[in-house]
Structure 1
Amino acid sequence: MSADASLPEPPAEPHVADEQIQLVDARNRPCGSAPRAAMRRFRFWHRATYVVVRNRRGELCVQRRTLTKEVFPGGLDLAAGGVVGAGEAVHVAARRELAEELGIRGVPLRHLGGFVHDAGGNHIFGSLFLVDHDGPLTLQVEEVAEAFWLSPHQALVLEGVTPDTRQAVEALLAGGELEAGR
């Protein structure tokens, strides 16, 4: 028997569909949790984060979703982010998603409010964040196929932009948050 045979097996990673998601009611009040698969199937209200990444030229980081993504496979995201886990604060979820998807860590996030996305069977209370970043990106191969930079207006006219991230960027534009120098 080798020395390695006596070591315990590391715990298995939870399957994404089993991940517990924070559920909320139609007023954004926590009301329990459910596995991600049930949240999608029953179209429960939930929270999600949207972190718009901007470089010093005012361009946004546009990410192409992998073809294996459950929702909008191959689509274009104008923000990093995702659903908020059960009991997780939105700012913690935003930092986690930004680090996972784009490898961006240790940068200040500006929380710029939120929006409601209630379309296409999705019932989301979105929390909006903005981060300025000119450093390298490390893409999460399971979720992000490629990333590139475009002005907000160029990004919004692309075919295949996910409707929730489109709404997030439109909200930031309407609030003047993506103007040069801000």
Structure 2
Amino acid sequence: MSDDDRDSSLAAAVQLRTEGHREEARQRLLALCAEFPADAEIAYQTAWAHDVLGLEAEAVPFYERGLGGTGLSEEDRRGALLGLGSTYRVLGQYEKAVEVLRGGVERFPDDGALRTFLAMALFNTGEHHEAMRLLLELLATSSTDPYVAQYRAAIEHYARDLRETV
């Protein structure tokens, strides 16, 4: 298959997933993975196709292949880190989820979704203080609620240590 055919086949499979034809998209992506086993973008899209079908365990190796390869755009890398971390969390592999999501937050510090999913994974590992800190910081910096904005400084202050009362 030529590069142009690869690109059009991948685009068609992604379009199928987007339009809700998830199983057909998954089947096409599996075929593309078989033909292009080292292609990080195809692996990531295949992981995503499994994830949206609730096939989290089957998605993991594709996420890992995509993240371990080269050629992912920064946006796809961001999505793959979030997807893999979230998938590990769903599978009860909380420490792995924290590791992947921390790496994602380090690479993409402004990504609120990565920070939110990291907070959930931290909660699952019993790191409640860190989870609340992340969520409060995110709330303080991203909320458009005027009442939250009014108390932003206080929220940021307490995010550093919720045990502090003064």
Radius of gyration: which is bigger?
2
Q: If the TM-score is normalised by the length of the shorter chain, which range does it land in?
A: under 0.3
TM-score, normalisation: structure 1: 0.26
- The structure with more strand, counted as a fraction of residues: 1
TM-score, normalisation: structure 2: 0.27
- The structure with more helix, counted as a fraction of residues: 2
Asked which structure has the greater RCO (Cα within 8 Å, sep 6+), the reply is: 1
